[in-house]
Amino acid sequence: MKKDDCIFCKIAAGEIGSHTLYEDEDFRVIFDLNPGTKGHALVIPKEHADGIFDMDDETASKVLVVAKKVATAMKEAFNADGFNIIQNNGECAGQSVKHFHMHLFPRYEGDKALGLWKPGQTTDEELQVLEDKVKEILN
């Protein structure tokens, strides 16, 4: 289903033009409008979901296969030294467009394009509490 006021629904459907690196029945892969590095691209499902939590399992199961295929071509095409695959959910996690998308983010030696988390510390007891909480929901 498409969402009327969603820019990524319109881009994925081809109603708004884009440089399309790859397209199939379920996805369109385009360049990011404001690239963090050379070649930064987005995998956009044609089916609207706000993020990972409301995405259907079928689309979810296909998205990494598409990401792998296009990222492999991009890495070779752009001579990238490394690659981040990033997927943000929720404002506090950096999501600005509320239509699921996966960033294909080529990295180049010394680019300093991303700051990742500061490694923290934990305890076995703390991990046990967290593990039990998740398992209670999953089981």
Q: Give the largest CA-CA distance in the chain.
A: 53
Q: CB of residue 74 vs Zn ion: minimum separation in angstroms?
A: 24
- Residue choice 40, 48, 101, 103 for contact with Zn ion (CB under 5 A): 48
Q: Does 38 bind Zn ion (CB under 5 A)?
A: no
* Cα of 36 vs its chain's centroid, Å: 14
Q: State the CB neighbour count (10 A cutoff) for residue 38.
A: 15
Strand 41-45: give its sheet, edge to edge. 20-23, 27-31, 41-45, 102-107, 82-86
Q: CB of residue 83 vs ligand 5GP: minimum separation in angstroms?
A: 16
Q: Does 6 bind Zn ion (CB under 5 A)?
A: yes
Cβ atoms of residues 133 and 127 within 8 Å: no
Nearer to ligand 5GP, 82 or 94 (CB): 94
DSSP 118: P
6 binds, among ligand 5GP, Zn ion, none (CB under 5 to 8 A by kind): Zn ion
Nearer to ligand 5GP, 34 or 121 (CB): 34
Nearer to ligand 5GP, 73 or 113 (CB): 113
Dihedral sign for Cα 87, 7, 9, 66, please. Answer: negative
Q: Does 3 bind Zn ion (CB under 5 A)?
A: yes
How long a stretch of residues is the chain?
139
Catalog residues that contact ligand 5GP under the rule CB under 6 A: 7, 18, 30-34, 42, 88, 94-97
Q: CB of residue 8 vs ligand 5GP: minimum separation in angstroms?
A: 8
Give yes or no: 101 in active site: yes
Active site residues: 101
